[in-house]
Amino acid sequence: MATGRSHRPATRGRGIPEATVARLPLYLRALTALSERSVPTVSSEELAAAAGVNSAKLRKDFSYLGSYGTRGVGYDVEYLVYQISRELGLTQDWPVVIVGIGNLGAALANYGGFASRGFRVAALLDADAGLAGRLVAGLPVRHIDELESIVADNQVSIGVIATPAGAAQEVTDRLVAAGVTSILNFAPTVLSVPDGVDVRKVDLSIELQILAFHEQRKAGEDDRQEPDGDVPAVMPA
Amino acid sequence: MATGRSHRPATRGRGIPEATVARLPLYLRALTALSERSVPTVSSEELAAAAGVNSAKLRKDFSYLGSYGTRGVGYDVEYLVYQISRELGLTQDWPVVIVGIGNLGAALANYGGFASRGFRVAALLDADAGLAGRLVAGLPVRHIDELESIVADNQVSIGVIATPAGAAQEVTDRLVAAGVTSILNFAPTVLSVPDGVDVRKVDLSIELQILAFHEQRKAGEDDRQEPDGDVPAVMPA
DNA sequence: ATGTCTTTGTGAACGCGTGCACAAAGATGG
DNA sequence: CCATCTTTGTGCACGCGTTCACAAAGACAT
Ligand SMILES: NC(=O)c1ccc[n+]([C@@H]2O[C@H](COP(=O)([O-])OP(=O)(O)OC[C@H]3O[C@@H](n4cnc5c(N)ncnc54)[C@H](O)[C@@H]3O)[C@@H](O)[C@H]2O)c1
Ligand SMILES: NC(=O)c1ccc[n+]([C@@H]2O[C@H](COP(=O)([O-])OP(=O)(O)OC[C@H]3O[C@@H](n4cnc5c(N)ncnc54)[C@H](O)[C@@H]3O)[C@@H](O)[C@H]2O)c1
């Protein structure tokens, strides 16, 4: 596994910073709303406000894509929608499989935001044979044993995992072996994958704990109840 | 709104870096698993592997909490679980309300990971009068008009929004007015809140788009089908 | 054509986060 | 009590991301 750090001039032609990539969908959403209202152009200031970011940041982000603005006027909404869509790869169709059709998996299957951006649910998979054939969001749940053939037949490259944590690594291994190279993981586990496979995780529990941390700090600034004292002396040997 | 940037020595006493805070729940999860297996101590190397991070990073993270390790041995699992829990504010109970009990909201209500870390669902709220009284995960859905009294009576400081995007800002305003100061938002919208209120968002659609970007780049490295040429000339005036 | 006014695109400075590499701490064995 | 060996805690350097601030580009009016 070559680290490949030596060359790579930080920011180059196709080299869009990760932080910028993460914001492009945000801009796209704001632009789509403007497009639906038939707004022809927006300034970086307006668009930044709509997306909830700093305008200088937005301009720098766009500068990585090229010079698509017109000074004194702003950005052409339709053109920018197209450019960002193309950059994100949304001009093509992305078949997705969802594995684990329980509470969360079913909610995801019903989620309209999937189809709206070129993501098509190719199949719903579950290990529970009792679920097989049942319709969820208009699609039949299929047995996990069909995973390999479904991924191959539909050229699925993105998998969503909504199984219990204990099954997530096994499912991941099967997805990767079948040819999936991007995984969105909702199970609270660290997944290990080979190089070349991307994993992103969504973890509700972590988000809540981060909120709790800040919440506690806010409260502590007023109360200042226990500076340090009452820590149970559970010190190790 | 004072920016308050001038002083603030980057990292101080209670000043734990945000990136570290975001990793503490990860460490806590790994440590809890070790605790259940009655493992007494772990080295930074082992724990880092379990949490999927670099061991130096883990040690630096812990150094912000204090010196809880023993050189030559490692960290005492139970003690560390306690320290991290305390730091995250998980030694106390956090009542939470979930607003919008549709597909996603119901899945969240059913999620076991909530209660497991001191988060208690105080109420489920929905605007649909038809849902009122119906049991979801053992709790009755209550009408959104009860929001203010429920938040006040239960001292709720954390709210979860799972309504459609169009309703999210209005719900946010009501939550904030009622006293909620932390919001976890699942609706695909930018929320504006007053200073002192924290918002974290979970956005499935954005995650998928980020995956698609990298997926496209991977494919492009082999194919290199369209270098630039066939871009429709939709250039603005 | 010329001037004014708006807004982009970016150079530069700064701060945060990451990871290396190592000195010091302390456990453990003789 | 000393030597050895493991593992922590952290100084340091580096790179990424953010923000400021401004020159230049260009629209638009006269
Ligand atoms: N429900 C939530 O709001 C929520 C929130 C955050 C995270 N999560 C996580 O998402 C995951 C799913 O949550 P849920 O509430 O839907 O659980 P669930 O128990 O309702 O559903 C899990 C589904 O996965 C299936 N499954 C189990 N093993 C499988 C395997 N090896 N292959 C394929 N399918 C398998 C089960 O048959 C079941 O249908 C869990 O890891 C949970 O921790 C859930
Ligand atoms: N389902 C998913 O997997 C998923 C994934 C990502 C994001 N989201 C987002 O989460 C939100 C909910 O998704 P869903 O699939 O559960 O939708 P849903 O339509 O099933 O549920 C929405 C619920 O909110 C209630 N509601 C509407 N207006 C309200 C108001 N003003 N106050 C209180 N309740 C109100 C509705 O009565 C309904 O019960 C949406 O914004 C969606 O974009 C959903």
Least confident of A136-140, A221-225, B109-113, B153-157: A221-225
Contact in structure between A168 and A145 (CB atoms under 8 Å):
no
In this structure, chain B runs to a length of 237
Q: Which residue is nearest to nucleotide D6 (CA to C1')?
A: B72
Contact between the CB of A57 and strand C at under 7 Å: no
The predicted structure's pLDDT at residue B222: 63
pLDDT tens digits, residue range A25-61?
Answer: 999 999 999 999 999 999 999 999 999 999 999 999 9
In chain A, which ranges are continuous DSSP H helix? 18-36, 44-51, 55-65, 77-88, 103-110, 147-154, 165-178, 204-223
Note whether A89 contacts B212, CB cutoff 8 Å.
Answer: yes
The verdict on A106 and A197 lying in the same domain is yes
Q: B214 in a domain, yes or no? A: no
- Decide if B209 touches A, using CB distance below 8 A: yes
Q: What are phi and psi of B219, to 5 degrees?
A: -65, -40
The predicted structure's pLDDT at residue A223: 58
Contact between the CB of A236 and strand C at under 7 Å: no
- Decide if A93 touches B, using CB distance below 8 A: no
Percent of chain B surpassing pLDDT 90: 82
Please give the tally of structural domains in chain B: 2
Contact in structure between A198 and A22 (CB atoms under 8 Å):
no
The predicted structure's pLDDT at residue A115: 79
Question: Which residues are CB-neighbours of B41 under 8 A, at least 6 positions away?
Answer: A236, B70, B73, B74, B75, B76, B77
Compare B182 and B230 and report the one with higher pLDDT.
B182
Percent of chain B surpassing pLDDT 70: 87
Token digits for B83?
């320290």
The verdict on A135 and A110 lying in the same domain is yes
Q: What are phi and psi of B113, to 5 degrees?
A: -60, -15
The mean pLDDT value of chain A amounts to 89
The verdict on A176 and A121 lying in the same domain is yes
The residue of chain B with its CA nearest to that of A191 is B52
Amino acid at site A236: P
Instruction: Name the minimum distance, in Å, from the CA of A146 to any CA of chain B.
Output: 23
A161 lines ligand 1 (CB under 6 A): no
Question: Which residues are CB-neighbours of B173 under 8 A, at least 6 positions away?
Answer: none
Least confident of A112-126, A203-217, B58-72, B166-180: A112-126
The verdict on A50 and A120 lying in the same domain is no
Boundary of a domain, candidates A48, A70, A87? A87
Residues of B within 8 A of A216 (CB-CB) are 88-89, 92
Amino acid at site B59: R
The verdict on B168 and B118 lying in the same domain is yes
Boundary of a domain, candidates A58, A87, A116? A87
Return the CATH number at B28: 1.10.10.10
pLDDT at B66 over 70: yes
The predicted structure's pLDDT at residue B14: 60
pLDDT at B231 over 70: no
Instruction: Name the minimum distance, in Å, from the CA of B72 to any CA of chain A.
Output: 13
Q: A25 in a domain, yes or no? A: yes
The verdict on B159 and B141 lying in the same domain is yes
pLDDT at B1 over 50: no
Q: B7 in a domain, yes or no? A: no
HSE (side-chain half, CA atoms, 13 Å) at B216:
22
The predicted structure's pLDDT at residue A222: 63
Q: A130 in a domain, yes or no? A: yes
Q: A8 in a domain, yes or no? A: no
Q: B78 in a domain, yes or no? A: yes
List the one residue out of B161, B139, B75 whose CA is nearest residue A237: B75
Q: Could you tell me the pLDDT band of residue B9, with boundaries at 50, 70 and 90? A: very low
Rounded CA separation A72/A97 (Å): 46
Token digits for B134?
């119906």
The predicted structure's pLDDT at residue B223: 58
What's the whole-number mean pLDDT along residues B175-192?
A: 98
What residues make up the domain containing A142? 94-204
Residue A98 DSSP class:
E
The verdict on A109 and A147 lying in the same domain is yes
The predicted structure's pLDDT at residue B114: 80
- Cα of A42 vs centre of ligand 1, distance in Å, is 43
Residues at CB less than 6 angstroms from ligand 2: A 107-108, 110-111, 113; B 99-105, 125-128, 144, 162-165, 167, 170-171, 186-188, 204
Q: Could you tell me the pLDDT band of residue A67, with boundaries at 50, 70 and 90? A: confident
Contact in structure between B162 and B100 (CB atoms under 8 Å):
yes
Q: B4 in a domain, yes or no? A: no
- Residue of A182, A190, A210 lying closest to B211 (CB–CB): A182
Between CA A133 and CA A141, with CA A139 as vertex, the angle to 5 degrees is 35
Contact in structure between A161 and A138 (CB atoms under 8 Å):
no
Q: What is the pTM of this model?
A: 0.92
pLDDT tens digits, residue range B146-161?
Answer: 999 999 999 999 999 9
Rounded CA separation B24/B80 (Å): 11
Note whether A52 contacts B103, CB cutoff 8 Å.
Answer: no
Q: A215 in a domain, yes or no? A: no
pLDDT at B233 over 70: no
Q: Sort residue A137 into left (φ over 0), alpha (ψ -120 to 50) or beta.
A: left
pLDDT tens digits, residue range A10-31?
Answer: 333 468 999 999 999 999 999 9
A140 lines ligand 1 (CB under 6 A): no
What's the whole-number mean pLDDT along residues B24-46?
A: 97
Positive or negative torsion for Cα A189, A181, A204, A166? negative
| Protein CA A86 to sugar C1' C4 (Å) | 37
The verdict on B22 and B98 lying in the same domain is no
B111 lines ligand 1 (CB under 6 A): yes
A144 lines ligand 1 (CB under 6 A): yes
The verdict on B72 and B149 lying in the same domain is no
The predicted structure's pLDDT at residue B228: 41
Ligand (nearest to CA of B123):
2
Q: What are phi and psi of B52, to 5 degrees?
A: 75, 35
pLDDT tens digits, residue range B111-151?
Answer: 988 877 889 999 999 999 999 999 999 999 999 999 999 99
- Decide if B165 touches A, using CB distance below 8 A: no
Instruction: Name the minimum distance, in Å, from the CA of B57 to any CA of chain A.
Output: 17
Rounded CA separation A55/A52 (Å): 9
| Protein CA B16 to sugar C1' D14 (Å) | 22
CB count within 10 Å of CB B72 equals: 6
The verdict on A35 and A134 lying in the same domain is no
What's the whole-number mean pLDDT along residues B200-223?
A: 91
The verdict on A66 and A31 lying in the same domain is yes
The verdict on B131 and B180 lying in the same domain is yes
What's the whole-number mean pLDDT along residues B49-75?
A: 96
Rounded CA separation A145/A127 (Å): 8
pLDDT at A139 over 90: yes
pLDDT at A2 over 70: no
pLDDT tens digits, residue range A158-190?
Answer: 999 999 999 999 999 999 999 999 999 999 999
Rounded to whole angstroms, what are the CA distances from B216 to A5, B190, B221, B222? 22, 27, 9, 10
Q: Could you tell me the pLDDT band of residue B41, with boundaries at 50, 70 and 90? A: very high
Boundary of a domain, candidates B59, B87, B115? B87
